[in-house]
Amino acid sequence: MWRAEGIIRRYFGANAFDGAMTTLGILIGAYVTGSLDPSLIVGITISTSIALGTSGIFAVYLIESAERQKSLEELESAVLVDLQDTLLAKASRFVSSLTALVDGIAPVLIALIGVSPFLICLKKPYPVEYAAISSLIIIFMTLFALGYMIGAGNLKQRSIYGIKMLIAGIIATFLSILLKQA
């Protein structure tokens, strides 16, 4: 009930995945509309990832706080002791806050990594086509790494999870490109 490592890893993975897929969607959307403008891509990506992060912070904090409070109250009923001012209650509140913070930072961090080649375009003469290809590669590598990170068990299972997340990104890419054809 009070261990946070697995929960934090899962929330980070889920919202980092959202950040990577959203960045991928922005990039592919820019490509299919012929709008590979670095300042537009960077601005939309950062704003969108901040919105995802803010959503994650508030949603996860409220969810985790409610669940942990419920667990604490159930424990209080079982032991017939008020635990609200104990180290256990304080740890519970801390874990809720930490989990929410990690969840909120994840999409922003991943989006910034994914869009980093376009950040270079804003400062130095770097061809926008190279930035787009570099961003795609970074996002696909990130998706694989996230799957690998959240995959359970041995190396083979982790690799399978990485491939599954990578496939999700490839599917989203092809569906978006098909949209251009329609």
Q: Give me the pLDDT at residue 114, please.
A: 98
Query: pLDDT digit string (tens) for 44-58?
Result: 999 999 999 999 999
pLDDT at 2 over 60: no
Query: pLDDT digit string (tens) for 58-95?
Result: 999 999 899 888 988 888 888 888 878 888 888 888 98
* Structure-model confidence comparison of residues 182 and 132, the more confident one: 132
Q: Give me the pLDDT at residue 173, please.
A: 96
pLDDT at 1 over 50: no
Q: Give me the pLDDT at residue 73, please.
A: 86
Torsional sign, CA 16, 19, 21, 27: negative
Query: pLDDT digit string (tens) for 113-157?
Result: 999 999 999 998 889 999 999 999 999 999 999 999 988 777 889
pLDDT at 4 over 80: no
* Distant-in-sequence, close-in-space partners of 117: CB < 8 Å, separation ≥ 6: 126, 130, 131, 132, 134, 135, 138
Confidence of residue 182 (pLDDT cuts 50, 70, 90): low
Q: Give me the pLDDT at residue 154, please.
A: 75
Cα distances (angstroms) measured from residue 2 to each of 5, 38, 93 = 10, 44, 10
Return d(Cα 119, Cα 103) in angstroms, integer: 24
Q: Give me the pLDDT at residue 142, please.
A: 98
Per residue in 123-152, is it b (16+ CB within 10 Å) or e — as a string?
eeebeeeebbebbbebbbbbbbbbbbebbe
Token pair belonging to 77? 């009923």
Q: Give me the pLDDT at residue 80, please.
A: 82
